[in-house]
Copies of this chain bind each other. A is one copy, B any other.
Amino acid sequence: MSEERAELLKGTLDMLILKIAALGPIHGYGIAQRIQQISRDFFQLQQGSLYPALHRLEDRGWLKAEWKVTETGREGKFYSLTRKGRKQLQSEVENWKKLTGAVALILRTAE
């Protein structure tokens, strides 16, 4: 019954991954670490969510991947945004702002 569950990300995952990848080529494992660090441990991205998401984004033509060697000397799949991915990120951010704005309107409603 201990409620220490790892906080989940409701549909924002794609946007967050695209945003991190937009900062420069980065491998999957690194994306998860970055998201966790920047969010101050709020988001704890599971590998079972991470990798399927990366493949999904690649399939949709928003990310492209390239195998390279990391600083730590192992093989890693480095992802970067395509032009389509950059557009997608823009539109997702825009929609996110509208959505949070709409939610705020409702939450602000007084009794």
Contacts and interface: CB of A to CB of B under 8 A. Distances in A.
Interface of A: 7, 9-12, 15-16, 19-20, 22-24, 35, 38-40, 42-43, 93, 95-96, 98-103, 105-107, 109, 111
Chain copies in the assembled complex: 2
Given A23-B111, A98-B42, A99-B42, A106 B11 contact: no
B39 A106 contact: yes
Contacts of A109: 19-20, 23, 38
Contacts of A43: 102
Given A107-B19, A109-B23, A102 B10 contact: no
B111 A38 contact: no
